[in-house]
Amino acid sequence: MQPATIPSRLRERIAGNNLLSALRPEDLAIVAPSLQEWEGEAGSKLYQPGDEVRFVYFPCGPSLVSFVVELEEGLTVETALIGREGAVGGIVSQGRLPAYARSEVQFPGPFLRLSTADLEEFETRSPSLRHLFARYADCMLAQVFQSVACNAVHTIEQRTVKWLLAAIDRTGDHDIPLTQEQLASMMGVGRSYVSRVIQSLKRRHLLETRRGGVRVRDMDRLDGLSCGCNNALRRHFEQVLAGVYPTVEESSAQKAAAGSRHPGSRMKA
């Protein structure tokens, strides 16, 4: 399949994932025929710890996935948030190795997926494809490093703001359909801590709560409370994979496209 002959619907899905869009035309021609469309519902588990990783999932548009580590104490902590800039699954590993962390859909939406067996074959055929995904693996590792440092040093308010801004970066949508309980669970802290932070941000008119989530009202002032971890990750992406991390303009366009498909807020008023 040549890039010019890729069906329009598949081409639209590919355009919704920046990592796939970064493929050279000859590599896209190799990969495209094996891509499968898949719809992810909020809360869907792509992988549980120990599961054999049979597919690589590429979030498209507003779709978001979290890598979550489950601790013996019953706590869960998010270690990475993946959107249109990346992929989930055996992106660089050889063979269908077991998953270490839980991969869970946070924001529903479209995905493309590719079997790990096909990916392994394609990487043997194309050094440039293998190199691109290896560079993405470096960015993924950087995100995990940054997350470890952030969780160890920064305040719960800074971490909460960081998560909200990271979600907006990837979707362009100021409506965050995530409950305080869900956010607290991913951060590995008690719900009461997150609730106090959210209430404080409300009093400062930075956000408002809605049924099933929050709506950010003042991005600039909220960004002023951020710990800077998102900016550090963005800089690394630009150094290693220029153009893959979503731009402000791209996020805004994504929000407009999502609005045309689903008028109004994703949450109940």
Read off the pLDDT band of 96 (50, 70, 90): low
> What local confidence, expressed as pLDDT, does residue 212 receive?
83
More confident: 201 or 95 = 201
More confident: 243 or 1 = 243
The average pLDDT across 241-260 equals 68
Question: How confident is the model over 24-45, as pLDDT tens digits?
Answer: 999 999 999 999 999 999 999 9
Which of 3.40.50.12280, 3.30.540.10, 2.60.120.10, 2.50.20.10 is the CATH number of 1-126? 2.60.120.10
> What local confidence, expressed as pLDDT, does residue 238 receive?
95
Alpha helices in the chain (DSSP H): 8-15, 18-21, 25-31, 116-125, 127-153, 156-171, 180-187, 191-203, 219-224, 229-240, 248-261
Is the pLDDT assigned to residue 59 strictly greater than 80?
A: yes
A 10 A CB-CB count for 269 gives 7
In one-letter notation, the amino acid at residue 54 is R
Is the pLDDT assigned to residue 256 strictly greater than 80?
A: no
Bridge-based pairing of strands 109-115 and 55-59 is antiparallel
Is the pLDDT assigned to residue 142 strictly greater than 90?
A: yes
What mean pLDDT value characterizes the chain? 88
> What local confidence, expressed as pLDDT, does residue 158 receive?
95
Is the pLDDT assigned to residue 251 strictly greater than 70?
A: no
Question: CB-based contacts of 86: which residues, under 8 Å, 6+ apart?
Answer: 18, 19, 58, 59, 136, 139, 140, 244
* Distance separating alpha carbons of residues 101 and 13, to the nearest angstrom: 26
CB of 78 within 8 A of CB of 186? yes
Q: What is the pTM for the complete model shown?
A: 0.89
